[in-house]
Structure 1
Amino acid sequence: MSPYADVVALAQQLIRRPSRAGIDEYGPVLAALEDWLAGRDLPPRRLYDERGGVVGLLVEIAGGRPGPWWALDACVDTAPYGDQGAWSFPPDCGEVVDGWLRGRGAADSKLAAAMFCRIAAELHGRSDALRGGLAVLLDVDEHTGGFGGARAYLADPAAVRPAGVMIGYPGPDEVVVGGRGLWRATIAVHADSGHSGSRRRTTPGAVSRAAELVRLLDAAALPPAEADFPLPPKLTVTSCHGGQGFSVVPDRCELGVDIRTTPAFDAHDAERLIRDAAADLDTRMPAPRPTVITPVASWPPYRLEKDQQPAAALLDAAAAEGLAVRAKTAGPSNIGNLLAGRGIPATAGFGVRHEGLHGVDERACLADLPAVHAVYRRAVLTLLGA
């Protein structure tokens, strides 16, 4: 049998227990992890959100010498299946075909969760030689965007605050050492209501005013990328809702706006840009009520230096294993942004090759598993002084 048969078998069990965020119950997938870990004398501790729901499992391995704690994190909730008729295999099949593990969550991130469990089991038998400790977080509230597992871990008074976190997203060519932040808001645009066929009506409705605001936002000038941060900020209008029928001029239209931020264009700058555009709209196209902006989310951008831990340990371990891996700053946000906001450095991506991430026919390349496992194991041992 393959020396990684236990990792693959656990990942298959996880895939065969659907855990789509906000759709499926998480009990079955967490039970599979609990059984596997308990069978290796590593019973995990459950983490709960403010409503009492389980949002993750935590495995803790204390070293025999003092030192900082480090964490591995992999989510076991997943994206939805989408159009199942477009898949060429069942999304929960968990089959291995031609060296690829198939099914939703194979790449993001059930195979990584299984591999991190294996690393925990390997270190459990030699913990006396380690400095500090290792925490393995297996969370089920990642794809909701709530990151409840990470939040519960950081809020747990019984858990040691980690000096850094490595998040097991897939992709063997890059270690994600940073990401743009975000600032999101809803914008309520108002107008007088009325009949669409009225001859007396001469002022634009809320949808027309919202369309003008979209034009202003699309034309807004954003700064270029910075020398020490490779991605520029980005503004996107992501939703538009207004109107209730053909014969009524709507009095309200709501827009959703997502702005990706950078160290030189932060949440304050993003909000100011939106408020300036709304003020411009209200001046040039007056309405009975001013435009209302409601911020709904904000994450800080972050970027680690190559010599900063845990990025340095992961990059050095990859080089020691003969892999050509580069540091990358990501455009999308991730748990690393949450951790950065708490002052905890994080990497957010190094793993196996993959296809169909969040799409159809998701699968993960098992041929990459030995090298990826070796890199993480070497990095963890370096951080723990072994």
Structure 2
Amino acid sequence: MANLIDPVELTRDLIRRPSVTPADAGAMDVVERTLLGLGFACRRMKFGEIENLYARWGTARPNLCFAGHTDVVPVGDAGAWSRDAFAAEIVDGVLLGRGAVDMKSAIAAFTAAAGEAIAAGRVTGSISFLITGDEEGVATHGTKLVVEALAAEGEIIDHCVVGEPTSAETFGDMVKVGRRGSINADILVEGVQGHVAYPHRAANPVPVLIRLLSALQSRKLDEGFPEFQPSNLEVTMIEAPNTATNVIPGVARARLNIRFNPSHTGQQLADWFDIEAWRAQGDFPGKITVTSSISGEAFLTERGDFTELVAAAVADVTGAPPELSTSGGTSDARFIRALCPVIEVGLVGKTMHQVDERAPVEEIRTLQRVYARILARYFA
């Protein structure tokens, strides 16, 4: 049967909307218009300046949801791109453009697969879409609030597929069944500025910051956790604003991030930061302030019927079952897991966020076939 929607052309249409977070640039309109054409009931859910969409075809259960985001990261150096980042050009069978991999192609591929399944009369329950414009940003006005609103209304989603680019080296070699948690900490040490020749008249914040960071880095967080790699702490910024060589600075700052497995909770790590800050304070007359922000907790979708169904669908198309992994960064799956089991399936992620982000046209079509097999098995 011929495709009702060409996933490549729909991806190109989406890429041509420069929806760099928090801008929408008409991207959500493209998704909504396409889904309306397939018979979905569409509901725009705008929080702040962020456009979100929840759409559903059917009213019966089970309800299989596809989740994704239309927003993209900035282009960076536009002159470094071989083509306009938002022109969506196809060169030698490869689609170039911001969002080609992460993840406008997945939205298009699932939309095409859903249209095909609906036209064939194979959907015995419901298909829904949860699309946000706030995944690449701070993620405070996107999926998190949509999930909370749907839960409060009693909307039931039985299972969810997120279209993040999960494949590692070759298409279909990996899907994600969980993610590590993430916590950020901003550290501010306030001392007293002074002349380097008269240190007794100053309070240097730099040694205190070094002492605190050393204590944090010296702890081995864990050896890993079943299904998860070890937690890791990375210092991402250190500064002591000072333009002179003979001045003891008045402040020193640092920023760090921990990606953590279920050995920890975000709050436990935040409490640890505070304890180490208290120890580093000692007799320092200044002040240490640690501001923690928990982006998400670690989670795992347990092996079972749903993970087996998705793995089998990938194998139907690629000929080999995928690795079920929890590696990589965070995604909006961390919010959706409050509603239902969730698994992530998408393209090879090597060029996401890079200059000349790109996806082979044939892989976008192959992703549609994978999603079609998921739908066929799910509603069998």
Q: Distance in 2 between matches of 1:163 and 1:37?
A: 20
Distance 2:258 2:212 in 1: 15
Amino acid across the alignment from 1:314: V
The CA distance in 2 between the partners of 1:41 and 1:5, in whole Å, is 13
Report the residue type matching 2:106 in the other structure.
A
Aligned ranges 1:326-365 → 2 under 5 Å: 326-340=323-337, 342=338, 344-348=340-344, 350-353=345-348, 355-365=350-360
**How far is the alpha carbon of 1:158 from its aligned partner?**
5.5
Q: CA deviation at 1:127?
A: 6.1
* Deviation for aligned residue 1:5: 6.8
Once the two structures are superposed, the pairs formed by residues 68-83 of structure 1 within 5 Å of their partners are 68-83=62-77
User: Equivalents in 2 of 1:268, 1:290: separation in Å?
Assistant: 22
Matched, 1:45 2:43: yes
Contact 1:188 1:253 in 2 (8 A): yes
Q: Give the counterpart of 1:312 among 308, 312, 336.
A: 308
Which residue does 1:162 correspond to in 2? Answer: 157
State the partner residue of 1:180: 180
**Contact 2:7 2:365 (8 Å CA) reproduced:** no
1:61 maps onto 2:57 in alignment: yes
Output the amino acid matched with 1:182: S
Q: After the TM superposition, which residues 28-177 of structure 1 pair with which residues of structure 2 at under 5 Å, given as runs?
A: 28-42=26-40, 44-49=42-47, 51=48, 53-63=49-59, 66-125=60-119, 130-131=124-125, 133-146=126-139, 148-154=141-147, 155-156=149-150, 160-170=155-165, 171=167, 172-177=172-177
Q: 2:194 touches 2:248 (CA, 8 Å); kept in 1?
A: yes
Which ranges of structure 1 fall in alignment gaps of 5 or more residues? none
Q: CA RMSD in A?
A: 2.5
User: What is the CA distance between 1:104 and its match in structure 2?
Assistant: 0.5
Contact 1:11 1:106 survives alignment (8 Å): yes
Partner Cα distance (2:339, 2:118) in 1: 28
Contact kept, 8 Å, 2:7 with 2:364, in 1: the verdict is: no
* Cα distance between partner residues in 2 of 1:7 and 1:313: 23
Contact 1:195 1:248 in 2 (8 A): yes
Whether contact under 8 Å (1:187, 1:292) holds in the other structure is: yes
Question: How far off is 1:234 after superposition?
Answer: 0.8
Cα deviation 1:293-348 (Å, max 9, x = unaligned) = 22222411112223252x222112112332331111123111122233x2532112
Aligned residues of 1:352 and 1:365 also touching (Cα < 8 A): no
SS of the equivalent of 2:62 reads strand
Q: 1:201 to 1:61 in 2, by over 3 A?
A: same
Quote the Cα distance in structure 2 between the aligned partners of 1:119 and 1:130: 15
| Matched residue, 1:233 | 231
- Asked if structure 1 preserves the Cα contact closer than 8 Å seen for 2:28 and 2:51, the reply is no
In the other structure, the counterpart of 1:373 is 368
Deviation, 1:43, is 5.6
CA deviations on 1:172-215 (whole Å, 9 max, x unpaired) are 21111111112222222232x13234425376511332123222
After superposition, give the CA deviation of every residue in 1:258-298 in whole Å (9 maximum; x if it has no partner). 11121113224422432332222112xx2224422222224
Amino acid at match of 2:376: L
Farther-moved stretch of structure 1 (152-161 vs 216-225): 152-161
The 1:353–1:180 alpha-carbon spacing in structure 2 relative to 1, beyond 3 Å, is closer
1:260 partner amino acid: R
Distance 2:162 2:181 in 1: 17
Aligned residues: 370
Instruction: Answer yes or no: is the 8 Å Cα contact 1:355–1:364 preserved in 2.
Output: no
Contact 1:225–1:233, Cα closer than 8 Å, also in 2: yes
Q: CA deviation at 1:381?
A: 3.4
Which structure 2 segments of 5+ residues have no match? none
TM-score by structure 2 length? 0.88
Q: Equivalent residue for 2:216?
A: 217
CA distance in 1, matches of 2:159, 2:195: 59
SS in 2 for 1:211: helix
Q: TM-score, normalised by structure 1?
A: 0.87
Conserved? CA contact 2:114–2:375, under 8 Å: no
Give the aligned residue type for 2:99.
G
Matched, 1:207 2:206: yes
In structure 2, the CA distance between the partners of 1:28 and 1:182, relative to structure 1 (3 Å rule), is same
What is the Cα deviation at residue 115 of structure 1?
1.3
Which sits farther off after the overlay, 374-383 or 171-180? 374-383
Distance (whole Å) between structure 1 residues aligned to residue 7 and residue 122 of structure 2:
25
Aligned-pair distance for 1:224? 0.8
Indicate whether 1:325 and 2:329 are aligned: no
Q: Decide whether aligned partners of structure 1 residues 161 and 374 sit closer, same or farther in structure 2, where only a CA change above 3 A counts.
A: same
Instruction: Measure the CA separation in 2 of the matches of 1:36 and 1:118.
Output: 10
Cα deviation code 1:145-192 (max 9, x no counterpart): 31633124311455723122211112221111111112222222232x
